Amino acid sequence: MAALELFNTLSGKVEALQPMGAPALRMYACGPTVYDYGHIGNFRTFLHVDVLRRFLRQQGVAVEHVMNVTDVDDKIIRNALAAGKPIAEYTTRFERAFFEDMEALGIERPEHTPRATEHIPEMVSLIERLAAKDIAYQTEDGSWYFRIARFAGYGKLSKKDLEGIEDGARVDADEYEKDAARDFALWKAVKIGADGVSEPSWQTALGAGRPGWHIECSAMATALLGESFDLHAGGEDLMFPHHENEIAQSESASGHPFARHWMHVRFLLVEGKKMAKSEGNFYTLRDLLLKGHRASAIRYLLLSVPYRHQMNFTFDGLAAATHTIERLRTFHRRMLRGGFATDGVNAAVSAATAKAAGDFTAALANDLNTAEATAAISEMVRAANSAADAGTLTAENAEAVLRVLALFDEIFAVLEDRDEERTRAALAWAEAEGRIREAAPELVAKLALGDSEIEALIAERTQAKNSRNFARADAIRVDLAAKGIVLEDSKDGVRWKRK
C-alpha cells in the first residue's frame, strides 16, 4: 500500500497515518448538530473525511470510523422550543435529512454514528473520573466545569498559550462562578425557563442537567474506539476550543494520549465571502438541488480544492464541475461501449494509463491532494479519446482505462449518474414541505418529460432526417434542448442525455 502522508495539526507536520494497536484504523470525526438542514460548508468537511476513508480502504487499510450526531445543545433547545416540539422529535427530522443529504452526496456512512443522548452514562462517568481527581468541580448552580489550570498540555493542538487565551477571550456573562474564565462546562445544571418549563435534562449522579458540548465526543470516542486512537478530524473551527477541550478532558481522565493524529478541514468561501445568512450566500444542499444544480457536481466541486486550502465556492465553479463530470461520464460510456480493435495494445495509451494510475494514487497519498488527483485522470482521458478517434485504441487499452476510472471513482464517486433521482427526491421533499415554490420552474418542467416521450420524439426526428426534412428534425432537436435534452447523432444511432 502507498502510505498516506497527512498533515497532523498536533505536530504541525505532514506525517504517515497508519493504524496502531488494532487491525483497523480508528478514526473519529465530529458530526452534525442536527438543528437545521446541512449546508455546503458542513458537507465540504464530511466530503473530505469521506475521501480520506475511501482512500485508506483503497490502499487496503480497514477503517473504523465514528461520527457523532449531536442531538442536544443550545441551538436545538432554542429551535425546538420555537417550533413547539419535543427535542427528540425535532432532532429526528433533521438527523434523517442529514443522512439523506450524505447519501445524495455519495458520502459513505461511517461504521458508527452514535447519538449524544444515548451516551449520557459514559459522559457522567467520565466527569466523575475527573471530579475524583479534582479536575472537575461543581459550581453553586449545580453545573460542572473543567479546571484548565490542571491540564499542562492545554493549548498544544491550537498552539495557544493560556495567557493569550485569557487575555483575548470574551467572558460569557452568564457563566459566573467559575474558578477561571476559560474553564469550560462539562455538565450544565437544569434551568427553569421564565414560563416555568424546564429545559431537557437527565437525572444523574451529577445532578439534573445536560452535557456540555465537548464531553460527548470524548465519551463516545473513548467508548467506541478506546482511550487512544489514530485520527480525529473536523472543521477548522473545532480546533479551538472544542478539540482542545476534548484532549484536556480525555487525557486528564485516562492519563493516555487521546488521538495521535488530527486533521482539520478549512472553511469555504461562497463567491469570495464567508458564507453567512446575513451575506445572502448561505446554501444548504437542498437549496442548490432545487435550483437545478446536480449533487455530483456539488460533490466534485467541494472536493476539487484540497482540504487544507480555503476554497471559494462559486456558481461559475459549479458550472465548470458539471461540465467536467459530463466529460468524464461521456468518456466512461465510450469506453464501456467497446467496439475497439481486439489485437494488441496502443503503447501510448498503455503508458498514459499506467501513469494516470500512479499519479492518481501518489497525489492522494500526498496529503490528499485531490486537485492533482483529478488532473492525473484528465491526462489519460485525452490520450484515450485521441486514440479512439484515430481508431488505434484496442479493447485491452479500454479495459485498462476502465480500471483506472474505477480507481478514480472509488474515491470521487461521480461516474454513476444518480443526479436525476436525487433532484427528484429534493423536489418531492420540497413538495411535502410546501416549499416547491423555491424550486427553479424550468427544473420542474424538465423533469416532467418522460423517457418514452423523449424517445418517441427522437424516432420522429430520425424519420424526418431520413426523408431529408432537416427543418422538422432540427425543430425537434431545438425543442428538446429547451427542455434540457441533448441529442448526439452517431454512427450507431442517436444518443441522448439530460443536461
Partner RNA sequence: GGCGCGGUACCCAAGUGGUAAGGGAGAGGUCUGCAAAACCUUUAUGCGCCGGUUCGAUCCCGGCCCGCGCCUCCA
Using CB under 7 A, which residues numbered 34 to 93 contact RNA?
39, 41-42, 44-45, 73-75
Contact with RNA (CB under 7 A): which of 67, 189, 311, 414?
311
Find the shortest distance in angstroms from Cβ 25 to RNA: 20
| 130 or 458: CB nearest RNA | 458
| 139 or 366: CB nearest RNA | 366
Find the shortest distance in angstroms from Cβ 285 to RNA: 13
Contact with RNA (CB under 7 A): which of 147, 188, 260, 446?
188
Contact with RNA (CB under 7 A): which of 170, 192, 196, 277?
170
| 125 or 392: CB nearest RNA | 392
Residue 241 DSSP label:
I
Beta-carbon neighbour count of residue 179 at 10 Å? 11
Q: Is 229 helix (H, G, I), strand (E, B) or coil?
A: strand
Contact with RNA (CB under 7 A): which of 90, 213, 258, 408?
213
| 133 or 159: CB nearest RNA | 159
Find the shortest distance in angstroms from Cβ 23 to RNA: 28
Can you tell me the distance from the alpha carbon of 190 to that of 141, in angstroms, rounded to the nearest whole number? 9
Find the shortest distance in angstroms from Cβ 339 to RNA: 14
- Kindly state whether residue 486 participates in binding RNA, applying the rule CB under 7 A: yes
Contact with RNA (CB under 7 A): which of 134, 140, 316, 343?
316
- In order, the DSSP letters of 112-168 are B--BGGG-HHHHHHHHHHHHHTTSEEE-TTS-EEE-GGG-TTTTTTTT--HHHHHHH
| 19 or 211: CB nearest RNA | 211
Q: What sign for the dihedral angle of Cα 460, 461, 464, 469?
A: positive
> Closest Cα partner for 371 from 14, 124, 30, 51?
51
- Kindly state whether residue 382 participates in binding RNA, applying the rule CB under 7 A: yes
> Closest Cα partner for 146 from 247, 225, 1?
247
Q: Residue 28: CA atoms inside 13 Å, Cβ hemisphere, count?
A: 27
Find the shortest distance in angstroms from Cβ 379 to RNA: 5
Find the shortest distance in angstroms from Cβ 22 to RNA: 26
Number of chain positions touching RNA (CB under 7 A): 83
| 345 or 375: CB nearest RNA | 375
- Kindly state whether residue 120 participates in binding RNA, applying the rule CB under 7 A: no
- Kindly state whether residue 320 participates in binding RNA, applying the rule CB under 7 A: yes
| 289 or 321: CB nearest RNA | 321
Contact with RNA (CB under 7 A): which of 117, 228, 296, 385?
385
Site residues (CB under 7 A) for RNA, limited to 240-269 = 240-242, 265-269
Find the shortest distance in angstroms from Cβ 394 to RNA: 16
> What strand order describes the sheet that includes 63-67?
63-67, 25-29, 229-235, 259-265
- Kindly state whether residue 355 participates in binding RNA, applying the rule CB under 7 A: no
Site residues (CB under 7 A) for RNA, limited to 6-35 = 30, 32-33
Contact with RNA (CB under 7 A): which of 89, 179, 421, 488?
488
Site residues (CB under 7 A) for RNA, limited to 278-307 = 304-306
- Kindly state whether residue 493 participates in binding RNA, applying the rule CB under 7 A: no
Can you tell me the distance from the alpha carbon of 340 to that of 353, in angstroms, rounded to the nearest whole number? 16
For residue 488, count CB atoms less than 10 angstroms from its CB and return exposed for 0-12, middle for 13-18, buried for 19 or more: exposed
> What strand order describes the sheet that includes 202-204?
136-138, 144-146, 184-189, 207-211, 202-204
Find the shortest distance in angstroms from Cβ 331 to RNA: 6
Contact 131, 164 (CB under 8 A): no
| 101 or 427: CB nearest RNA | 101
Contact 286, 426 (CB under 8 A): yes
| 321 or 439: CB nearest RNA | 321
Site residues (CB under 7 A) for RNA, limited to 129-168 = 158-160, 164-165, 168
CB within 8 A of 212, min separation 6: which ones?
144, 184, 185, 186, 187, 188
The three-point CA angle 358-359-365 to 5° equals 90
Paired residues of 39 in beta bridges: 284
Can you tell me the distance from the alpha carbon of 221 to that of 232, in angstroms, rounded to the nearest whole number? 9
Site residues (CB under 7 A) for RNA, limited to 408-447 = none
CB within 8 A of 188, min separation 6: which ones?
143, 209, 210, 211, 212
Q: Which listed range, 223-231, 350-358, 418-426, 488-496, lies at the site for RNA (CB under 7 A)?
A: 488-496
Calculate the alpha carbon distances from 166 to 139, 162, 172 in Å: 20, 6, 12
Contact 355, 379 (CB under 8 A): yes
| 61 or 215: CB nearest RNA | 215
| 397 or 439: CB nearest RNA | 397
- Kindly state whether residue 392 participates in binding RNA, applying the rule CB under 7 A: no
